[in-house]
Amino acid sequence: QGQLVESGGGWVQTGGSLRLSCAASGRSFSSHAMGWFRQAPEKEREFVAAINWSGGNRYYADSLKGRFTISRDIPKNAVYLQMDSLKPEDTAVYYCAAASRGWGTSSAADYDYWGQGTQVTVSS
């Protein structure tokens, strides 16, 4: 079995930055695509970003391109989400996920492992 644990969430003012981390354990995820999703109150979970197994391809929600950057450290079994120029509408619980299919995907249904989430709050 594998586990994903997110960290790095918190409170930040508009325009600030946060870096989320996702630590994987229990198995290697080196062949998995990794992704970040988020869910705001009373809204459906939405795709944020994904990175393929090698880290060579990255995918972003169109509305977030240029502000968010996904990366991974394969030896450390970790994935990161750098979030810059944060806005109040970025407030949500952010989830890390892993997909056994190695290429990136924006569909939550393709992901086999999920973390518990970390809260990000952006104040105006």
How are beta strands 10-13 and 92-99 bridged, if at all? Answer: unpaired
Q: What is the dihedral of CA 78, 39, 48, 11, to 10 degrees?
A: -70
- Answer whether residue 102 shows pLDDT above 90: no
Give the pLDDT band of residue 33 (cuts 50, 70, 90).
very high
Contacts of 41 (CB under 8 A, 6+ apart): none
Q: Determine the pLDDT at residue 1.
A: 85
